[in-house]
Amino acid sequence: MVSILRWLPERWRTPRLCLWLLANCPLPIDQYLPSVVWAQRCVLRGNTIIERCASNEITPGDVQAKNIYGSSVALSYYDLVEISSMSPLCPVGNSKWTSDQLESLRHIGIKHGADLRGSC
């Protein structure tokens, strides 16, 4: 499903589509690998989706989104969400990501990390 992004018109490659793909694509789980490898693959897949939803180049807003998703997966996978400080998210300047979209991205990452932790 991720490979189809390269064929979509640029105007359709939005944070909204990125959030939908992250929320609805199945997690890359392989029963023969350790769960920490699953978590790493989940973050890599999320980074790929965010990058492919970007326009021609990766912007600072896209880098911020990748960092938020990756850190949320990791915090949730290691069950550290409760003790971490979850400050409000403010998009970097000229970002196409809104604070609500970044918050949704954080929640998706937390859910994915918890799902991976639960599948151990």
**pLDDT for 6:** 64
* Sequence-ordered list of residues with C-beta below 8 angstroms from that of 65, at least 6 positions apart, any chain: 15, 18, 50, 97, 102, 105
Structural domains in the chain (count): 1
Residue 70 lies in a domain: yes
Which range is least confidently modeled, 3-17, 19-33, 53-67, 68-82? 3-17
Supply the pTM of this predicted model.
0.89
What are the pLDDT digits (tens) for 46-76? 999 999 888 778 899 999 999 999 999 999 9
Average pLDDT in the chain = 87
Residue 4 lies in a domain: no
Residue 69 lies in a domain: yes
**pLDDT for 2:** 58
**pLDDT for 5:** 60
Residue-range definition of the domain harbouring residue 17 = 9-118
End-to-end distance of the chain based on CA atoms, in angstroms? 26
